[in-house]
Structure 1
Amino acid sequence: MDTIHIRGGRRLKGAIPVSGAKNAALPLMTAALLTDEPLRLSNMPRLTDVKTLGKLLAHLGAELSVEPGEHADTTTIRAADIKSTTAPYEIVSQIRASFWVLGPLLARCHQARVSLPGGCAIGARPVDLYIKGLQKMGAEIDLVEGYVVASAPGGLKGAIVRSPVVSVGATHTLLMAATLAEGETVLENAAREPEIGDVARCLVAMGAKISGIGTSTLRIEGVEKLHGATHSVIADRIEAGTYAIAAAMTGGEVTLEGVDPETFDAALSVLRAAGAGVDTEQGAVRIFRNGERLQATDVVTQVFPGFPTDLQAQFMALMTTADGESEITETIFENRFMHVQELARFGADISLHGDKALVRGVPKLKGAPVMASDLRASAALIIAGLAAEGETVINRVYHLDRGFERIEAKLGACGAEIWREKA
């Protein structure tokens, strides 16, 4: 199993091109199932999750081709003939986003058999919201031997679906399903994440009729058929936020290229409050710090446009050396503090109190062997290692490859002493 090694203490200085957003690329890939014409997606990130979902789409009958580019790939997906409507456990268990094929398969083929994704290291993330929403649209759904077996013999029907909680996955699934449903579907209390808007704009380019994009109420007028389109994936705001935190942690100066500052404004606001410098312009963000110690700052994770849960671990790493005590409250996932014990191996002073973590800043961290528990925790350990004295060795880095493209190369180009050792 690969490991990542870091010799800390170097300031980051340079520019980092931000990759396409994983959380947009994956649902965009599933949207290709809604049409028999090609969907061409540019600015695609090179990640293991993208490859895994590609395998599922191929299993269902889609044809995929990849054109490599300098910084990103262009992937063309054509699902002219869907040969299977079963998404097997062997693939769905590897990537939760593969469950989202349920909506497009049911909308286009009027049937689907999709494995339940199972548990998750950072929380259960139940799929009952998906199921209840599709049932309101006329689907008949049973749970059989670990699979969601769904059918809509006469096709899906428009409905008003109000989610009791904001769910990105349910919004993606129901939005795609509604594009081919008969009549109007209204999704109330829908997720507002930028990735939702990106998928909606792609669906509109494919011929869907959607209004309310970017708001909590989406109205979809079903159409008989969607066609192919070309769409560029938005930049990854979580990757951008991670590198911004890394620059603040090391006291460096980094320009993030190709990203919209508004998509992660909550994170940038918190960095400003902590004492980091932030300059924004169209398509770029510059993060800098003059060497003074950062100030402890409290955060509460929230759905967009609040502070994202996917940056909670990284921000906690930043606060480990801040001046004072910071309180970090996790409201999205009930088990997303597993990185705490690993940050403690660097010498961090963190105590847990239910959904809150109290971080008491220490003057410095010291490198240590650590183990990643999930994707975002992996990034937090890298951030801590960049600032720590001595060498840090991070194990289980396969988590990183699911969501961060060439992280060693991008940080190394900015002066970090970081390298990967193959197993």
Structure 2
Amino acid sequence: MSTLTQDAARAGASVGLDGDRITFRGGRPLKGRIEVRGAKNLVTKAMVAALLGEEPSLLRQVPDISDVRVVSGLLELHGVKIERDTETGDLHLDPSNVERAHMAEINAHAGSSRIPILFCGPLLHRLGEAFIPDLGGCRIGDRPIDFHLEVLRNFGADIQKLSEGIRMHAPNGLTGAKVELPYPSVGATEQVLLTAVRAKGRTELRNAAIEPEIMDLINILQKMGAIISVDADRVIRIEGVDRLTGYSHRALFDRNEAASWASAALVTKGDIFVGGARQGEMLTFLNVFRKAGGAFEIEDDGIRFFHPGGELKPVVIETDVHPGFMTDWQQPLVVALTQAHGTSIVHETVYEQRFGFTDALVEMGADIELHRECLGGQYCRFGQQNFLHSAIISGPTKLHGANIEVPDLRGGFSHLIAALAAEGTSTVSNVGIISRGYENFIQKLEQLGADFTVEG
């Protein structure tokens, strides 16, 4: 067992498995300071990028979350040597001896993660073949891999669907391609980047995602020797190179985790300093947070989020790709909006089934109605597909304790926030899912003065 795997196992024991429960005694404001490290939506992709290099890489500020452990296990199966400094979060990745892995082992290690699809391009370059199992992930909407497979075919991959998964070959190597995304998907953009940088010739990607995590991945690839340009009209151009080196990089902070703790401060009438958070990547969130009645102070080493007193205000939100309001921000903020005086509207345009978490909030006393129409914003692609993708939140309503089962990552953290704000006692089960994206969240709750008991 590697140093990283041992450390991860010890850390995972404090978080617990998916069946664990936490009992909260709500009504206490969260106050104090916590730290956020590298973004979940970047670090796992940066780890995969290390496969492309012929020299070791160093990734700094890597959080100890279960998604990182899954990717670490998959990399180790393919011969990558990994060492982690548990204090700093520095991750050393040595891909000098990349090798094939057995299908059964890949299946066993992948679990519910969707990251394996992004291994395909790098492995095709390094080994000439790749295998991925059936893919999981949070059940928040349709996340088909068909487009990923079509992209890989465009680059020259031969794809076979087997009963145990999908096997790919690239006997003649990969060649640059022209790709236009029907929607600026983050995952599809990452797929093209990780495949194109070592493909022969040029690749042009239109309607690309341009999230900060995507730009940071581009920064990493450029450090490795890639040639990538980004135009203002969502067009990314990549000139393939024969060889990439390793990289040394400090990961972008996790703006989703920062926004989650900000919402926790607002709904509990608390005061939380999020160390490591930065203003630039959170500009859109900060505007909405202020409109809703929250307050913040920006320092060089982080952002203080707090409830300034007085009434919270209703807002109208439409989620969108960057630079719009992130879909991962809306779930925690919806909990705070249950305490706003008036009617708020949230129109979800990124994932069509992201409001399932509101069932538990209604059980706790929230007044939330879901609608199939596009409310509060422009018409979106879900408008005539019969999805409940708009929410009307009327408040303020008193939240009371309840028994809740976590449905997905962001929805699960939102349930924790609701339990912390509610009167009485709440029991939240299946909390292990939350460790996919929130490092040491139990310890952070302790630091902020939450009243709870962890039950195995």
**Short-chain TM bin:** over 0.9
Query: Could you tell me which of 368, 393, 412 is aligned with 1:378?
Result: 412
Q: Which residue number corresponds to residue 98 of structure 1?
A: 116
Q: Which residue number corresponds to residue 428 of structure 2?
A: 394
The 2-side partners of 1:214 and 1:10 are apart by 46
The 2-side partners of 1:118 and 1:419 are apart by 30
Q: How does 1:272-291 map to 2 (within 5 A)?
A: 272-291=290-309
The letter of the residue matching 1:24 is: L
Give secondary structure in 1 for the equivalent of 2:61.
strand
The 2-side partners of 1:78 and 1:330 are apart by 41
Query: In the alignment, is the contact (CA less than 8 A) between 2:54 and 2:243 conserved in 1?
Result: no
The 2-side partners of 1:414 and 1:252 are apart by 9
Give secondary structure in 2 for the equivalent of 1:314.
helix
The 2-side partners of 1:230 and 1:93 are apart by 29
> What is the CA distance between 1:188 and its match in structure 2?
1.3
Give secondary structure in 2 for the equivalent of 1:76.
strand
Q: Which residue number corresponds to residue 185 of structure 2?
A: 167
Q: Which residue number corresponds to residue 182 of structure 1?
A: 200
Alpha-carbon displacement from aligned partner over 1:114-167 (angstroms, at most 9, x marks no partner): 223157511230112212222222222232325332222221112221111111
Rate the CA distance shift 1:153–1:85 in 2: closer, same or farther, 3 A: farther
> What is the CA distance between 1:402 and its match in structure 2?
0.9
Which piece of structure 1 moves more, 228-237 or 147-156? 147-156
Identity %: 38
Rate the CA distance shift 1:408–1:85 in 2: closer, same or farther, 3 A: closer
Using structure 1 for the length normalisation, give the TM-score.
0.94
Q: For this pair of structures, how many residues does the alignment match?
A: 420
Query: Could you tell me which of 416, 441, 444 is aligned with 1:410?
Result: 444
The letter of the residue matching 1:362 is: P
Q: Which residue number corresponds to residue 360 of structure 1?
A: 394
Alpha-carbon displacement from aligned partner over 1:67-101 (angstroms, at most 9, x marks no partner): 111xx421111122222166633333421122210
The reply to whether residue 78 of structure 1 matches residue 106 of structure 2 is no
Give secondary structure in 2 for the equivalent of 1:216.
coil
Q: Which residue number corresponds to residue 54 of structure 2?
A: 36
Rate the CA distance shift 1:18–1:416 in 2: closer, same or farther, 3 A: same
Could you say what the CA RMSD is over the residues aligned between the two structures, in angstroms? 1.9
Residue segments in structure 2 that go unaligned for 5+ positions in a row: 1-18, 373-388
Runs of 4+ with >6 A deviation: none
Q: Which residue number corresponds to residue 377 of structure 2?
A: none
The letter of the residue matching 1:386 is: L
The reply to whether residue 117 of structure 1 matches residue 135 of structure 2 is yes
Using structure 2 for the length normalisation, give the TM-score.
0.88
Query: Could you tell me which of 290, 293, 299 is aligned with 2:317?
Result: 299
Residue segments in structure 1 that go unaligned for 5+ positions in a row: none
Query: In the alignment, is the contact (CA less than 8 A) between 1:18 and 1:239 conserved in 2?
Result: yes
The letter of the residue matching 2:97 is: D
Query: Could you tell me which of 257, 269, 274 is aligned with 1:239?
Result: 257
Query: Could you tell me which of 94, 101, 108 is aligned with 2:126?
Result: 108
Query: In the alignment, is the contact (CA less than 8 A) between 1:27 and 1:199 conserved in 2?
Result: yes
The 2-side partners of 1:401 and 1:274 are apart by 28
The 2-side partners of 1:271 and 1:377 are apart by 19
The 2-side partners of 1:86 and 1:301 are apart by 40
The letter of the residue matching 1:40 is: L
The reply to whether residue 7 of structure 1 matches residue 25 of structure 2 is yes
The letter of the residue matching 2:416 is: I
